[in-house]
Amino acid sequence: MWGKLSITSSFALKLNLALCLAGCFVIAGLPRANAQNAKATPSPTPQVKPDEQEIDRDDVISVTTTEVLLPATVRDNTGQLVPGLTRTNFRVFEDSIEQPLSDLGLRQVPVDVVLLVDASSSVSDNLDDFRRAAEGFAAHLASADRISLIQFDDRVLLLQDWTKSIAQLRRALRRVAPGMFTRFNDAMLLAARDQLPRANARHAIIVLTDGIDSGRGTTFAAALRAALQSQTTVYVVSNTQIERAKKESELSLLLSASGSAQRFNELRIGDLRLGLEALDASERSLEQLTRATGGRVYKPTSFNDLERIYREVAEELRHQYALYYSPLNRTRDGGFRRVRVESTNPKHQVSARIGYFAPK
């Protein structure tokens, strides 16, 4: 995979970047770089050092296979998953040219899932809800599937490497501890780049977060690029609605006070308004991230909904179609190939990532 990963260091710059990126990110404008010959391996405890300013342009992953694996989710017009489809129910286009699906176009393949949990202050009071939801999620996976656990706050910590054992996951979940800041972009980049799946396995990341990065590390653009380069499907369980309700309630209370009280609380009122703007920007970025990778955003209004949502994601992964095709364009130029998946039934909605990076 190709590209330069840059660093921003202030919250204001982070907010402005998020506001711009949500509407303006264009994949065709991404820069290219040389592919790394050796495949990256997961580090025992993946962390971004505080003084790390830049990641090498060649420190990326390349797609070397001539066959593309394209996970796809199909829902009907009521939002229900559609089972039982065959290869003839799909059409795949690469750079607007239809591609022939292989004879094994709907192979059943395992999935390697990274559970990412935001342990910063916005989530820390509800980590028990996450632990229960994560255990329930693991219980709904197939026996061939694997799971790993990463916590992020002011650090990014690998708490459990790939495992099929719910007992191991349960022990790792006990080690999740609350922190302060939110290195969301760093966590996404490292989960996509370093926590690699098995050959021929699907790769998914499920993250519980409000998505508001502290602005101390990698950019959102780099995190999104890493997810596309590693062909990862990203699902976000966003607590933005929960945080929004808290901030709006407090802001309404302060604005209903007398003029003198409002002047006294002027700084807090300003902080709340900035916080609501940050949540708006974050939601746009999270929508962009999941749409580009073929995933989905869930916005619970209560942490009590986590178990149900994680169960829904597990159900989707179990009913996801794995489309295989050999690209007609065999040029090894490292370029981005834009992909579109359609259903032959106009009532069906297909979710799949927007493309992949060719080998070089």
Tell me how far apart the alpha carbons of residues 198 and 17 are, in angstroms, rounded to a whole number. Answer: 34
Let me know: does 163 contact 114? Beta carbons within 8 Å.
no
Tell me how far apart the alpha carbons of residues 96 and 94 are, in angstroms, rounded to a whole number. Answer: 5
For residue 280, what pLDDT is reported? 96
Q: In sequence order, what DSSP letters do the residues of 230-294 get, joined into one string? A: TTEEEEEEE-HHHHHHHHHHHHHHHHTS-HHHHHHTHHHHHHHHHHHHHHHHHHHHHHHHHHHHT
Going by their DSSP bridges, the two strands 97-99 and 321-325 should be labelled as unpaired
Looking at the DSSP bridge assignments, the partners of residue 341 are: 92
Let me know: does 297 contact 30? Beta carbons within 8 Å.
no
If residue 101 lies in a helix (H) or strand (E), which one and from where to where?
none
Type of residue found at 305: D
Q: What angle do CA 229, 233, 235 make, to 5 degrees?
A: 135
Tell me the mean pLDDT per 10 residues along the chain, length 360.
Answer: 36 40 40 38 42 35 64 94 91 96 71 95 88 95 94 95 96 93 94 92 96 90 94 96 95 95 95 96 96 96 95 93 92 93 95 92
What does pTM read for this prediction?
0.80
Other Cβ atoms closer than 10 A to 139: 11
Domain range list for the chain = 11-65+110-319
Let me know: does 71 contact 202? Beta carbons within 8 Å.
yes
Tell me how far apart the alpha carbons of residues 221 and 55 are, in angstroms, rounded to a whole number. Answer: 14
For residue 200, what pLDDT is reported? 82
- Is the four-CA dihedral 110, 285, 115, 49 of positive or negative sign? positive
With tokens 């989905």, the residue in question is: 296
Let me know: does 169 contact 135? Beta carbons within 8 Å.
yes
Tell me how far apart the alpha carbons of residues 212 and 241 are, in angstroms, rounded to a whole number. Answer: 13
- Which residues have C-beta within 8 Å of that of residue 301, sequence separation ≥ 6? 241, 242, 245
Let me know: does 93 contact 127? Beta carbons within 8 Å.
no
Give the CATH class of 11-65+110-319. Answer: alpha beta
Let me know: does 170 contact 135? Beta carbons within 8 Å.
yes
For residue 104, what pLDDT is reported? 55
Let me know: does 106 contact 322? Beta carbons within 8 Å.
yes
